[in-house]
Amino acid sequence: MTPAEIQARVLYRDQDVIVLDKPAGLAVHAGPNSPDHLELYLPALCYGWSRPPRLAHRLDRDTSGCLVLGRHDKAISRLGKLFMHGRIEKVYWAVVTGAPPGAEGRVDLPLKKITGTGGWRIVVAEDGQAATTLWRHLGSGDGLSWLECRLLSGRTHQIRVHLKALGCPVRGDAYYGPDPAPAFPLHLHARAVSVPALSPGKPSIHVEAPPPAHMRAALAACGWVADAP
């Protein structure tokens, strides 16, 4: 991305925080399979400060949407504490194959990372870490369902594994879906984030990210109506 392109993805900015609309397919950190990653582009978000913002949390490479950045050390520290104590609310939209068993519900299944010859993945396991996902059914169509998910814990791949266990895997999920080579990108989007005031006199923050282009047709089939321009 060019500096202008990454700046165009800024959803919110103040003296402490930037909320970015992360594109699907871009890893947030460098890695063996991630020569192109978000941290390469953060210097374009200095906006006059001497240091670029830093990640306050992470999103999976293939998940789009709201990503919170801290602009200085105090902001990073305060955001870290808010995330640790569950005071930052994140809302996700998922388009899944099939339908969930009801209008809303809760998945309480512990998750564990296992590593094998083909790499690693997350599985449900009794000796795993506690994980809870709240879900709500927003609409259905064409054999798909549109779900809203809220996390009460922040485990790797939590929504994807929990929705698979619910019997409705996320559309386009090559790891946890029925097709290891899906025809569609992952249909999981960090729709909104709410951050309490970082200090007295500062406002609380609520930001929403528009659905990415690759999810819009499936969302529309499930009843979503795009916001007016």
User: Which residues are annotated as catalytic?
Assistant: 60
Element of type H or E holding 77: helix 73-84
Q: Do the beta carbons of residue 131 and residue 73 sit within 8 Å?
A: no
Pairing relation of β-strands 54-55 and 132-141? unpaired
Q: Which residues contact 36 (CB under 8 A, 6 or more apart)?
A: 26, 27
Exposure string over 28-37, b if 16+ CB within 10 A, otherwise e? beeeeeeeee
Q: Which residues contact 49 (CB under 8 A, 6 or more apart)?
A: 71, 72
**Tokens 């994140």 appear where?**
90
